Structure 1
Amino acid sequence: MVKSMTGFGRATKEFEAFKVTIELKAVNHRYSECLFRMPKQLAYLEGKLKKIINKQIKRGRIECFFSITGEQLAKRELHIDWDLADSYYRFIKQASARYELAELPKMSDLLQEQEYLSIEEEVDASSELERLVIETLTRATERLDEMRSMEGAELLLYFKQHLATLEKSLAIIQAEIPVSEKYYQEKIENRLQNIVGENFDQNIVLTEVALLLEKADINEEVERTKSHLKQFYGIILLEEPIGRKLDFLIQEMNREINTIGSKANSLRITEQVVEMKTTLEKIREQVQNVE
């Protein structure tokens, strides 16, 4: 089925003292990529969290933002580099004696020196917190996937409308082929009449017409394009990621349409080729957004 690669999902869960909020933002990408913005103490969960996302999201760039709060969540501890503090204090005493300072620095002055003082925060990555994070991410991923499916449904309608336009143009081209062949024959006959008059060999005309028609024959390209359109209809109904398949099919259709345009000398066919190329480009732009 058609799914967009863009979307947003958010979920919040609480358990006792913990509250976890996770936001997922998905954008286009050739492959599958997950970027996590979470406390480093939960980094060990990254592999498990990626599997949860990849179970539903097969292609795209997913940014994951974590907000975790709770009274028991963080433990803050004061860390002091006593060796550095001692060196600093000895320097102050020596400087005071050397320069005959009236008094030594106060403790409040020493506390302002951050080189040997630091406050470190540790997240309590308990089993309950881990369970809460996994449940929250699972729900956020489901909501992201729901949004991608909704956008995919709109893309499906868009594709069907433009595929119908391509089919209409292709039908006009196919109907124009006999007219174009007749035009070639009449053109050659008129040229021969202007050169040799009425007395010319009809077999020569038929031979020349056959050669021209063989070079300008677009029936094969038309049939291949019709086959590609049929494949496109089938692919957009598959229950799997289809973006790359559609992208390849667009390239194949573009190649066939270019060949039709280069072979045909009919103004009406040329007009339809231009129309088809414009429509195909619109489809191609949206295919880049399909998972």
Structure 2
Amino acid sequence: MIKSMTGFGRSENTDGVHNFTVEVKTLNHRYNDTIIKMPKHINYVEENVKKIIKGKISRGRVEVYISLEYEDDSNIDVKVNVPLARAYKRALDEMTNELFSDEKVTIEHIIRMPDVIKTKRLEDDENQIWLCLEKALEEALDNTVEMRIREGHELSKDIRERTLKIKKMIESIEKRAPLVVLEYKEKLKERVEELLDNEYKLDESKLANEVAFYADKSNITEEIVRLYSHINQLFECLDSIEPVGRKLDFLIQEMNREVNTIGSKSSDIEIGKTVVEVKSELEKVREQIQNVE
């Protein structure tokens, strides 16, 4: 069953210290384009994240948003720059004595000054970080893939229905093609006899040669056979569990080319109308296929 390239998934996981939230959004893209946004201090897990994504999603734009919150402050180190605080106090005392003699400098004034208090997060256990993130990432990706499968089912249904419609139109062209040659023969014979005005005998051999030439020139058997082959391959792709978006796109291009050839070879009005209808359906199928993984 084919998959859509659009989907969304979200998951959370905590180990008592780290609380991860992962959101995955996938969009249409010709290739596999992955964008990951996460806290800078855990960038060392990026390659692991990409590896898991590629194992589950082979085509499309994948946007992954990872946020991390800590359950407590046990891994935060707080330091006070005492020399800097003294320097600020002397400067503030001097300023208040000169300008605001009734004011007093308090600790609240000091701690508001830049770089007096600095916080630094202690080193995390990288393995613990990854184990917690991995679970949230796997679940978010699974939710995304599940949504892509559901949408793929609807895409497959629509593509299949339109392709069956195209097949019926091709069958009508196939049935019509032999009649076109016969009609051409009768019209040509009538026209020649009209021009000769029954004064000369019609040369049946020359007429047969002309009809044979027309039949060969307008023969669309090869195009019809290839179209049926492409249609069968398309149905096989719809039942495949492998990514087939690019192959489907190629098949539609080939089908469109064969239909154009039929249109250029045939001068029959009915076949011409059917060709236009087939091309219209092929374009609708092509638009749907742009969203297939």
Tell me the TM-score range normalised by the shorter chain: 0.7 to 0.9
2:184, 2:211 within 8 Å by CA — same for their partners in 1?
yes
Q: Bigger shift: 31-40 or 162-171?
A: 31-40
Deviation at residue 155 of structure 1 after TM alignment: 1.3
Listed one character per residue, the Cα deviations across residues 13-68 of structure 1 (whole Å, up to 9, x for unaligned) are: 22223322211111011111221121111111000001111101001111111232
Residue 210 in structure 1 maps to residue 212 in structure 2: yes
2:77, 2:122 within 8 Å by CA — same for their partners in 1?
no
2:31, 2:60 within 8 Å by CA — same for their partners in 1?
yes
Deviation at residue 72 of structure 1 after TM alignment: 3.7
Say what the alpha-carbon RMSD is for the aligned residues.
2.8
The whole-number CA distance in structure 2 between the counterparts of 1:123 and 1:159 is 55
Specify every segment of 5 or more residues in structure 2 that has no aligned partner in the other structure, as ranges. none
| 1:13-24 matches, cutoff 5 A | 13-24=13-24
Residue 265 in structure 1 maps to residue 267 in structure 2: yes
Q: Percent identity?
A: 35
Listed one character per residue, the Cα deviations across residues 245-279 of structure 1 (whole Å, up to 9, x for unaligned) are: 00011000000001111111112111111111111
Letter in 2 for 1:179: L
Aligned counterpart, 1:250 = 252
Letter in 1 for 2:7: G
Aligned counterpart, 2:235 = 233
Deviation at residue 175 of structure 1 after TM alignment: 0.6
Listed one character per residue, the Cα deviations across residues 111-167 of structure 1 (whole Å, up to 9, x for unaligned) are: 6664x5685553753232221101110111111111111111111111111111011
The whole-number CA distance in structure 2 between the counterparts of 1:68 and 1:169 is 57
Letter in 2 for 1:75: I
The whole-number CA distance in structure 2 between the counterparts of 1:279 and 1:154 is 17
| 1:1-291 matches, cutoff 5 A | 1-69=1-69, 70-72=71-73, 75=76, 77=78, 101-102=98-99, 114=114, 122=121, 125-126=124-125, 127-198=127-198, 199-291=201-293
Letter in 1 for 2:121: E
2:89, 2:105 within 8 Å by CA — same for their partners in 1?
no
The whole-number CA distance in structure 2 between the counterparts of 1:176 and 1:123 is 80
Letter in 2 for 1:122: R
SS at match of 2:13: strand
Q: Are residues 40 and 191 of structure 1, via their aligned partners in 2, closer, same or farther at CA, if it must alter by over 3 Å? A: same
1:41, 1:123 within 8 Å by CA — same for their partners in 2?
no
Letter in 1 for 2:209: T
The whole-number CA distance in structure 2 between the counterparts of 1:182 and 1:75 is 90
The whole-number CA distance in structure 1 between the counterparts of 2:175 and 2:186 is 18
The whole-number CA distance in structure 1 between the counterparts of 2:74 and 2:245 is 42
Write out the 4+ residue segments of structure 1 that deviate beyond 4 Å after TM superposition. Answer: 76-80, 100-114, 116-121
The whole-number CA distance in structure 1 between the counterparts of 2:153 and 2:192 is 59
Q: Are residues 121 and 26 of structure 1, via their aligned partners in 2, closer, same or farther at CA, if it must alter by over 3 Å? A: farther
The whole-number CA distance in structure 1 between the counterparts of 2:272 and 2:182 is 17
Listed one character per residue, the Cα deviations across residues 65-106 of structure 1 (whole Å, up to 9, x for unaligned) are: 1232221486264686x79x97x999x79x98xxx9556995
Question: How does the TM-score come out when normalised to structure 2?
Answer: 0.86
2:111, 2:117 within 8 Å by CA — same for their partners in 1?
no
Specify every segment of 5 or more residues in structure 1 that has no aligned partner in the other structure, as ranges. none
SS at match of 2:56: coil
